[in-house]
């Protein structure tokens, strides 16, 4: 029998010009007990807009204490560049919380031109 946990994932888009993205965004969680499959972060609303927080909830195997996350986008859409402020993950069952700061662009035409980042725990 496996232990399932509800994870609430809050993604904070920065407040800089052009910060939002219409690209498809993906996330993988890495913990002390394993990693998740790659999750596509998508809701019925307009996600990842400038100066906004997009919230998603997934029921996953218990990953233990989270250590890092991998976040990327597929560079699709008219303006795919995205300024990611941070990601906050909450274990809704165990009342644990982890913050993964970023404050970098995920864009092929900004800074280091990366659209795939691994973020360490704050």
Give the residue among 73, 71, 83 at the shortest CA–CA distance from 24. 73
pLDDT at 1 over 80: no
In this prediction the pTM is: 0.96
Q: What are 57-77's pLDDT values in tens digits?
A: 999 999 999 999 999 999 999
Is the domain spanning 4-120 CATH 3.40.630.10? The answer is no
First-last CA distance in the chain: 32
Residue-level pLDDT at 18: 96
Token readout for 117 is 């980042």
Token readout for 80 is 């795919």
Token readout for 56 is 């998603």
Residue-level pLDDT at 45: 87
Token readout for 19 is 């910060």
φ, ψ of residue 2 to 5 degrees: the values are -105, 155
Give the residue among 74, 14, 13 at the shortest CA–CA distance from 38. 74
Residue-level pLDDT at 33: 97
In the chain, what are the domain boundaries? 4-120
């Amino acid at each position: 029998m496996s232990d399932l946990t509800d994870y609430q994932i809050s993604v904070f888009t920065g407040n800089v010009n052009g910060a939002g993205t219409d690209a498809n965004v993906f996330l993988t969680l890495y913990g002390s007990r394993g990693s998740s499959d790659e999750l596509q972060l998508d809701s019925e609303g307009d996600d990842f807009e400038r100066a906004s927080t997009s919230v998603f909830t997934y029921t996953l195997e218990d990953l233990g204490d989270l250590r890092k996350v991998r976040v990327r986008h597929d560079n699709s859409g008219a303006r795919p560049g995205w300024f990611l402020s941070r990601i906050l993950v909450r274990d809704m069952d165990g009342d644990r919380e982890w913050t993964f700061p970023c404050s970098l662009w995920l864009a092929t035409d900004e800074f280091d031109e990366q659209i795939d980042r691994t973020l360490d725990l704050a």
